[in-house]
Every structure is written in C-alpha cells, then in structure tokens.
Amino acid sequence: NAAASVDFREPLDQALAINTLSLRHVTAFARVAGAPLVHVSTCYVNGYNRGEMREEVVAPAGAARDAIPRHRDGWYDVDALVDSLQRKIERVRAACPDPERLRRRLTDLGIAQAQRHGWNDTYTFTKWLGEQVALRVMHGRMLTIVRPSIIESTLRDPAPGWIEGVKVADAVILAYARGKTSFFPARREGIIDIVPVDLVAN
C-alpha cells in the first residue's frame, strides 16, 4: 500500500480519508486474503521527536502525548482520536457553507491538530495515524511498514528521471534544472535524503 496524499497542507477531511481511514479497508482486504501487507509510510512520522529514531512504533511528541492510550501490544489506540477529528471536521462543515473558505478552515484545523499532537503538518500526522490502524488490525499477521524519506523521480525504470506530477521536493529540483535557482543555502555536511521511486517500488 503506497497510496497517500503527500500535500503537507491537505484539508484534514481529505488527508484523514486517504492517509488514515483507507488503512481500515486495505488491512481488511489483507486479512480476508490471508496476505501480508507492506505499507509505505514516511520517516517523518517521528514528528517533533528528537535524536536517533529506530524502527519501532513512534510515540507522539506533543503536549497531548499521554492523551493517546498505548495498547499493551505496542500500537497507539487512535480510534477515539480519529472519531474526535471527524466530529471537529463535521462542525467546521456545518459552520462553513462556502467551499473555498471550508477548504481553508479544514486545512487550518489539520495543521492545528497535527501540531497539538506532535507533528509538523497534516500529512505526517495522518500517516502516523494510519500506521496505528495497520498495527492494530494486522496484529499477529504479516505487516511491514516501510518509512522512506522523500520519494522522487526514478533512477532507471521506466526511464531515468521519470516523474509524474510536481510535489514534495520536485518544485525545488525543477527550479534548479531550469536555472531559476542557482544555489541551495544549506550546511555542506547536510544530507539531502531523497529516494528514487523505482528503488522504493522494487
């Protein structure tokens, strides 16, 4: 499962549907089929956590850290939180009939809720919620969660440099390629953590 909305400022209803609630369907299918599930998440589910991050269940890092109960088998029980988010979404919908204003309000709600719970943005927050859904439903079954960093254009297949759409770091890369940006202010020892999409898929 590699489906996701990678828009950091996606309205909360859409990000929740794509990055979290979809995992209920994917995991139900995997269980019925008796199939293992490989779920592509993101290394950025670590949110505000600092230091070395190991391949384990990520704890929330925000002020609400202790508000999300942790199950004895390791995952965080996010059902009450997801229900709460859906109620907040419905309240915003009821109070805001204008589509453009509604989109802005749901975007702001997503950012506020993400930051309250320990994430920078709606994308990483809803991806973390999705991991918790997968961990709960697939408990005792074969589940692999892959957490690549920024997935970008291909190294080789179907052609070197192939890319579909402009998202994540694409805009910066394209600006450089077109000569609109001549330098990137950064530390020389810094790492640009970009993974070619064909390496992730393969």
Tens place of pLDDT for every residue, the chain, 202 residues? 777 887 888 999 999 999 999 999 999 999 999 999 999 999 999 999 988 888 899 999 877 778 899 999 999 999 999 999 999 999 999 999 999 999 999 999 999 999 999 999 999 999 999 999 999 999 999 999 999 888 888 899 999 988 887 776 777 778 888 889 887 788 888 887 888 888 888 8
What does the pLDDT read at residue 22? 95
How big is the CA angle at 95 (ends 94 and 97), to the nearest 5 degrees? 80
Structure tokens at 25: 């369907």
pTM score: 0.86
What does the pLDDT read at residue 166? 74
What does the pLDDT read at residue 5? 81
Closest to 28 measured CA to CA, from 114, 107, 133, 111: 133
Coil vs helix vs strand at 55: coil
Q: Over the stretch 82-136, which tens digit does the pLDDT of each residue have? A: 999 999 999 999 999 999 999 999 999 999 999 999 999 999 999 999 999 999 9
What does the pLDDT read at residue 187? 87
Burial class (CB in 10 A: 0-12, 13-18, 19+), 18: buried
Centre a 10 Å sphere on the Cβ of residue 193 and count the other Cβ atoms it contains. 11
What does the pLDDT read at residue 110? 97
